[in-house]
Homo-oligomer: A and B are copies of this chain.
Amino acid sequence: MNTEEKSDSPLKQKLRNVIFGTETPEGKRFDIILMICIVLSVVLIFIDTIEHINEQYGQLISIAEWSFTVLFTVEYILRLYCSLNRLHYARSFFGVVDLVSILPSYLGLIFPGANVALALRVLRLFRVFRVLKLLRYLSDGHLLLKAMVQSSRKVFMFFFSVSLIIMVLSVIMYVVEGPNNGFTSIPKSMYWTVVTITTVGYGDITPQTPLGQGIAALTMLIGYSIIAIPTGILTAEISHEMVRTRDLRKCSNCGKKGHDNDAEYCNHCGSELEKL
């Protein structure tokens, strides 16, 4: 990269360090300020949907909205300008997110109308995903992701069997309770079964017949016990991952392995360990 940077104007390099840099102090400062702006803009969109707030501060919020939109537009242009490979950035996940999250406001001008506004509100939400940039400062995500990928097949197996159980139970409940007790259709009965087996239990649909209540109780106990399976799978994977990562930390001096993730010095020869 250094070689390429040489070919750039010093301004561009400065900008790149500020905007894309995550190690340099000004890079960090920029990220933090940007994060605050994103969170603020999202909060604005959210509270703007509260009626009496919209009535009172509608004007202020829309002004703030626009200033944020302009800000993010400028940021996007600068990113495009100072990125080493513009197409690559424009196509990257964050590049798309950055673009999609500023478009709505402008689209709102071209196509006015309430029904459009609704759709745009969803698009605007993409701004939230910019917060993902915070992830750059977190390493543990990798371990979790690894564990989840490792256990994904087992978890799929689990959800496959759960959905079979749900289907069977919902048909039984539909037959037992019938449309008069709220189980108007099998899909509705499936909704009830999911609400019950996940132990959410809204209570908007509840079994009325003694037999139905018995089956419901059974359903709950099933849900109560199978909740253990994904936990078991993931826990086993995570602890395995943790042991492995710990083994990966090898002291460069004495070669001792198996240091804790938070260990800074080798507990055998005392020489410093490289960060995870």
Which residue numbers of A lie inside 8 Å of B, CB to CB? 42, 45-47, 49-51, 118, 121-122, 125, 128-129, 131-132, 134, 138, 140-141, 143-144, 147-148, 150, 153-160, 162, 164, 167-168, 171-172, 174-175, 179, 184-188, 190-191, 194-196, 198-204, 206, 210, 213-214, 216-217, 220-221, 223-225, 227-240, 242, 244, 260-262
By Cβ-Cβ distance, the 3 closest A-B pairs, closest first, are A200-B201, A236-B239, A202-B203
Q: In the complex, what distance in Å separates the CA atom of A6 from the CA atom of B214?
A: 52
Instruction: Give, as a whole number of angstroms, the nearest-CB distance from A225 to chain B.
Output: 5
> Is A157 in contact with B132, judged by CB distance below 8 angstroms?
no
Instruction: Give, as a whole number of angstroms, the nearest-CB distance from A23 to chain B.
Output: 19
Interface of A is mostly: helix
Q: In the complex, what distance in Å separates the CA atom of A225 from the CA atom of B162?
A: 11
Instruction: Give, as a whole number of angstroms, the nearest-CB distance from A226 to chain B.
Output: 9
Q: In the complex, what distance in Å separates the CA atom of A160 from the CA atom of B206?
A: 26
* Residue in B49, B185, B199, B216 whose beta carbon sits within 8 Å of that of A49 in the complex: B185
* Residue in B121, B129, B140 whose beta carbon sits within 8 Å of that of A175 in the complex: B121
Q: List 7 A-B contacts (CB under 8 A).
A: A45-B186, A125-B168, A144-B154, A195-B216, A201-B202, A232-B238, A239-B239
> Is B221 in contact with A194, judged by CB distance below 8 angstroms?
yes
Q: In the complex, what distance in Å separates the CA atom of A46 from the CA atom of B38?
A: 43
Q: In the complex, what distance in Å separates the CA atom of A229 from the CA atom of B231?
A: 7
* Residue in B164, B179, B186, B229 whose beta carbon sits within 8 Å of that of A132 in the complex: B164
> Is B233 in contact with A238, judged by CB distance below 8 angstroms?
yes
